[in-house]
Amino acid sequence: MPLDLYFEDDQYPYIGVKDTRDVARAIIMDDNGNFGLHRLHGIDRFGDRNYFETPGGGVDDGETPEIAVIRECYEETGYEVEVVEYLGKVTDFYNCLARKNISYYYLCKTKSPFQGTHFASEGDALIAETLFIPIDEVIQKYEASPDTMLSKIVKTRELPVWRYVKELLNK
């Protein structure tokens, strides 16, 4: 059964919800059984960012989340991917943007050699590197991430998804 999780933002003051954003996110597995993970670093309206996050981004008008995740993976990681399985959704909030996010997660597999990244959004500039590492190492990186500010929001949203994927793979 797909995930259906809901989390409130307890890091920034609540100022209402002005908009809802659909987001497509990928748990990408390569041919070696390693998983793609971005390390973000930089300073923006969320403060000083230095944490890990799955590849993905907003669903554009006219796109389905599944089409968006394929596009986002190519832009951010330089890999064409195929969707293996829909994992579920996580609803969370960015209070400092007055935004509700609905993130649709997909297990994807790389299907092409690395073709170079094609960063397309302002947020892509925060991607310091993309790692392909074993799932246990991914989970350890999330567990070690700070429990403050946006790092905590992302950790709260994504760590349960990674644990769910590990369970699926161990079946």
CATH number at residue 36: 3.90.79.10
68 is in which domain, residue-wise? 3-169
Flag whether pLDDT at 47 surpasses 80: no
pLDDT for 61 equals 96
| Cα(79)–Cα(144) distance, integer angstroms | 27
Q: How many structural domains does the chain have?
A: 1
Q: What is the mean pLDDT of the chain?
A: 94
Q: What is the pLDDT of residues 56-93, one digit of tens each?
A: 999 999 999 999 999 999 999 999 999 999 999 999 99
Per the CB < 8 A criterion, the answer to whether 108 and 27 are in contact is yes
Highest mean pLDDT among 114-118, 122-126, 128-132: 128-132
Q: What is the pLDDT of residues 1-44, one digit of tens each?
A: 899 999 999 999 999 999 999 999 999 999 999 999 999 998 87
| N-term to C-term CA, the chain | 14
| Cα(51)–Cα(41) distance, integer angstroms | 7
pLDDT band at 114; cut points 50, 70, 90: confident
Dihedral over Cα of 10, 123, 6, 109: its sign: negative
pLDDT for 117 equals 78
pTM > 0.75? yes
| Cα(107)–Cα(86) distance, integer angstroms | 6
Nearest of 110, 165, 111, 109 to residue 136 by alpha carbon:
165
